[in-house]
């Protein structure tokens, strides 16, 4: 199997798993996987598709600027520039963006603070922080409608090969060195968001 086909399959499998969680409401969400470093090229979801369906037009290959490689009638994700920022600044191999009710609620609850923090939760270890009192901070950025501006603001928070950034009342983007790692981080974030919301709802009755 060629490297590109194997990357396509890997991303399609991740897409199916996230779809099974119902994380692509209303055609939202976009995914990408690095296909080459020299020159930088990655597969990204085609814009506006129902990401719960598996088709031969789910992804297209783009360059480091998000421009399609070769002739295609497909349009790269409207948020491709955020994926470009991840691959341009890190050695990450995969970047995942989903809208969930939990990540939107958390982004609104902590949006004025610009960050949501987690401590004393086992799943923080998904981010490779093993100390007992480790603090996980996830930045929350403003949801600029202008995508180059959104991508620039997002890029300010990219400093490692794995990470997560919430976009206020929009969604989350996570990235990791591999598809496995990116998906692990995304699941950990969503667990932590749901946990915090549930705890906040429960606390008044304790
Ligand atoms: C249909 S609402 C979602 C979009 O505005 C966008 O935020 C999104 O995540 C999906 O856009 P897409 O261009 O399909 O990648
Ligand atoms: Zn989005």
Q: What is the pLDDT of residue 28?
A: 98
The mean pLDDT value for 100-122 works out to 97
- Is the CB of residue 160 less than 8 Å from the CB of residue 90? yes
Per the structure, the count of domains in the chain is 1
Q: What is the pLDDT of residue 205?
A: 78
The mean pLDDT value for 174-200 works out to 98
- CATH number for the domain spanning 173: value is 3.40.225.10
Within 8 A by CB and 6+ apart from 160, the residues are 90
Residue 204: pLDDT over 90: no
76 CB near ligand 1 (under 6 Å) = no
Residue nearest to atom 4 of ligand 1 (CA): 28
The mean pLDDT value for 119-126 works out to 95
What is the pTM (predicted TM-score) of this model? 0.97
Q: Sign (positive/negative) of CA torsion 22, 28, 29, 30?
A: positive
Binding residues: 97, 99
Q: Which residue did the predictor score with more confidence, 16 or 1? A: 16
The mean pLDDT value for 109-121 works out to 97
Q: How far apart are CA 90 and CA 152, in angstroms?
A: 15
- Phi, psi dihedral angles at 53 (to 5 degrees): -90, 145
Residue 121 CA to ligand 1 center (angstroms) comes to 31
47 CB near ligand 1 (under 6 Å) = yes
Domain containing residue 71? 3-205
Whether the predicted interface score ipTM is above 0.95 = yes
Among all bound ligands, the one having the nearest atom to the CA of 15 is 1
Binding residues for Zn(2+): 97, 99
Q: What is the pLDDT of residue 72?
A: 97
Q: What is the pLDDT of residue 174?
A: 98
């Amino acid at each position: 199997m060629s490297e590109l086909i194997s990357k396509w399959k890997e991303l399609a499998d991740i897409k199916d798993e996230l779809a099974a969680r119902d994380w692509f409401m209303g055609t939202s969400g976009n995914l990408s996987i690095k296909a080459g470093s020299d020159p930088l090229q990655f597969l990204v979801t085609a814009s506006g598709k129902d990401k719960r369906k598996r088709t031969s037009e789910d992804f297209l290959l783009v360059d480091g600027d998000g421009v399609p490689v070769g002739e295609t009638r497909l349009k790269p994700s409207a948020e491709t520039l955020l994926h470009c920022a991840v691959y341009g600044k890190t050695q990450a191999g995969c970047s995942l963006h989903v809208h969930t009710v939990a990540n939107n609620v958390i982004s609104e609850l902590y949006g004025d603070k610009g960050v949501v923090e987690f401590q004393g939760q086992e799943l923080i270890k998904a981010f490779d922080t093993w100390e007992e009192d480790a603090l996980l901070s996830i930045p929350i950025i403003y949801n600029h409608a202008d995508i180059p501006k959104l991508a620039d603001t997002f890029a300010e928070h990219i400093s490692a090969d794995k990470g997560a950034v919430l976009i206020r009342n929009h969604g989350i983007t996570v990235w990791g060195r591999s598809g496995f790692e990116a998906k692990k981080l995304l699941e950990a974030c969503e667990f932590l968001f749901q946990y915090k919301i549930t705890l906040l709802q429960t606390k008044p009755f304790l």
